[in-house]
């Protein structure tokens, strides 16, 4: 049984993470639909959402369409696209969202709603790096949003999602409120087999994840290196640590301090072994790189808080130039 009023779910972004969440929710008894296009839409219509997890294959029929209007208002919309696709989502997501719809933002980086209900000095401020025109915030009601930090590694190959490791979802209201709706959502996700926790400050969880992947992702894309090789190079690791110290100071000034040194986070990353970051996978697949939500926004926040960011600037400049030359930014 799914928790009351959360049985009708739409996944917007049927990639690795979206497909994983959608398959799990379908297995838990939700009526899952997916917004997709092209070959992905054809595969979903024919085979449903397919998942390989722990060596076991499963497939779940879903309703799929390229037009959200055909799917109608949902109880829960999971937005799991890469940040460069979010403006396109904003233009079309409206028919899925009613007055009681929850919108779960399951994306990497700093989201468009970051200062909704948070940050005394910056309360309600729009971040240009992630929502330059304001159209995302205008299209997705702030009152509908629940934040989500995903700690898992998945890949989508030949129409099937492969879950590699990790099972953690951290969710929370942007305001930090322990609302009844977020408790119901946590119960739904737990019933689908996720390890779920409800955060009292989801922005801090977002920032902590960013603290690691804002460096590993673009550096891996620049070099083609897996994370172990980045960690093994003394000079590169020193550069990574300097970027992280800039981000840590920014976090402290906006009210999300990190009580760790970069070396503590390096140890966490090393435990994950040798793997390709999502940005390196995107580069190899010729997909747009989500540099703005991971790096440009940190530079913007540095300007807002008065923190100098020379190392972040260097990382952004090099990564952005490479992406532009490849037509990926």
CB atoms under 10 Å from CB of 29, counted, come to: 13
- Identify whether the C-beta of residue 131 lies closer than 8 Å to the C-beta of residue 140: no
Element (H, E) at 27: helix 16-27
Cα separations (Å) of 33 from 134, 144, 182, 294?
A: 27, 19, 21, 29
Total number of residues shown for the chain = 329
Phi and psi torsions of 177, nearest 5°? -65, 140
- Could you give the CA distance from residue 235 to residue 65 in angstroms, rounded to a whole number? 48
CB atoms under 10 Å from CB of 320, counted, come to: 18
168 catalytic per annotation: no
- Give the long-range contacts of residues 307-311, CB within 8 A, separation 24 or more: 307/246, 307/249, 307/250, 307/253, 308/246, 309/246, 309/250, 310/246, 311/239, 311/242, 311/243, 311/246
- Identify whether the C-beta of residue 142 lies closer than 8 Å to the C-beta of residue 136: no
Cα separations (Å) of 23 from 194, 212, 327?
A: 12, 28, 32
The catalytically annotated residue of 82, 209, 276, 287 is 209
Q: What torsion, rounded to 10 degrees, do the Cα atoms 154, 203, 296, 325 define?
A: 10
Q: How far is CA 105 from the centre of its chain?
A: 7
* Catalytic (active-site) positions: 209
């Amino acid at each position: 049984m799914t928790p009351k009023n959360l049985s009708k779910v739409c996944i917007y972004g049927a990639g690795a993470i979206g497909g994983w969440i959608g398959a799990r929710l379908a297995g838990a008894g939700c009526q899952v639909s997916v917004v997709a296009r092209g070959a992905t839409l054809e595969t979903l219509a024919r085979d449903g959402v397919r998942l390989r997890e722990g060596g076991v294959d499963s497939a779940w029929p879903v309703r799929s369409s390229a037009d959200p209007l055909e799917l109608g208002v949902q109880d829960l919309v999971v937005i799991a696209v890469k940040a460069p696709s979010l403006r396109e989502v904003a233009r079309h997501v409206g028919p899925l969202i009613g007055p009681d719809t929850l919108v779960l933002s399951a994306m990497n980086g700093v989201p468009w709603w970051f200062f909704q209900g948070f940050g005394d000095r910056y309360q309600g401020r729009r971040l240009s790096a992630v929502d330059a025109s304001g159209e995302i915030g205008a299209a997705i009601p702030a009152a509908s949003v629940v934040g989500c930090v995903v700690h898992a590694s998945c890949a989508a190959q030949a129409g099937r999602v492969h879950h590699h490791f990790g099972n953690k979802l951290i969710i929370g209201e942007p305001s930090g409120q322990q609302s009844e709706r977020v408790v119901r959502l946590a119960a739904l996700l737990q019933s689908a087999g996720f390890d779920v926790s409800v955060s009292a400050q989801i922005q801090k969880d977002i920032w902590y994840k960013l603290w690691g992947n804002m460096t590993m992702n673009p550096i891996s894309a620049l070099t083609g290196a897996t994370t172990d090789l980045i960690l093994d190079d003394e000079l590169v690791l020193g550069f990574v640590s300097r970027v992280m110290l800039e981000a840590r100071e920014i976090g402290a000034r906006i009210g999300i301090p990190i009580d760790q040194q970069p070396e503590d986070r390096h140890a966490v990353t090393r435990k994950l072994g040798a793997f390709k970051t999502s940005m390196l996978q995107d580069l190899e697949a010729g997909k747009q790189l989500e540099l703005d939500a991971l790096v440009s926004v940190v530079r913007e926040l540095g300007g807002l808080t008065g923190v100098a960011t020379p190392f972040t600037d260097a990382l952004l400049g090099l990564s952005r130039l490479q992406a532009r030359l490849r037509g990926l930014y």
